[in-house]
Copies of this chain bind each other. A is one copy, B any other.
Amino acid sequence: MKKALAFDIGGTKIYSTVIDEKGEIISEIDKFSTPKTLDGIKDVLKKQVSKYEDKVDLITIATAGAVNNENTAVIGSTGNLVKGYFTLDFQKLSSKKVFVENDANCAAWAEYKIGASRGTAVSVMLTLGTGVGGGIIINNKLLKGKSGAAGEMHFKMYPDKRRKCTCGSYDCFEIYASGTALKLDAEEALETHDVTTYDVIAGLKSGDKKMTEIFNRWQNDIIVGIKGLTNLFDPDCVVLSGSMAQFVDIKKVEKEVNEDLVVSPTSIRLATAGNYSGMIGAALLGMEING
Chain A contacts to B: CB under 8 angstroms: 66, 75-76, 120-122, 134, 136, 138-139, 141, 143-159, 167-170, 172-173, 176, 220-221, 224-225, 227-229, 231-236, 260-264, 266
Q: Say which residue of B139, B150, B172, B234 sits within 8 Å of A233 (CB atoms).
A: B150
Give me 16 A-to-B residue pairs in the complex whose CB atoms sit less than 8 angstroms apart, sorted by A's number: A76-B264, A120-B146, A145-B263, A150-B234, A150-B263, A151-B232, A155-B155, A155-B227, A155-B232, A156-B225, A158-B158, A169-B227, A169-B261, A169-B262, A170-B260, A172-B231
Q: Binding site of A, secondary structure by majority: helix, strand, loop or mixed?
A: loop
- Is A156 a contact of B157 with CB atoms below 8 Å? yes
A144 neighbours in B (Cβ, 8 Å): 234
A170 neighbours in B (Cβ, 8 Å): 260
Closest residue of chain B to A166 (Cβ to Cβ) is B262
**Measured between alpha carbons, how far is A263 from B150 in the docked complex, in Å?**
7
- Most chain B C-beta atoms within 10 Å of own C-beta, residue among A121, A158, A170, A229: A158
A147 neighbours in B (Cβ, 8 Å): 234, 263-264
A266 neighbours in B (Cβ, 8 Å): 146
**Measured between alpha carbons, how far is A155 from B223 in the docked complex, in Å?**
11
Q: Say which residue of B143, B149, B159, B261 sits within 8 Å of A157 (CB atoms).
A: B159
**A45 vs chain B, min Cβ distance (A):** 25
- Is A260 a contact of B168 with CB atoms below 8 Å? yes
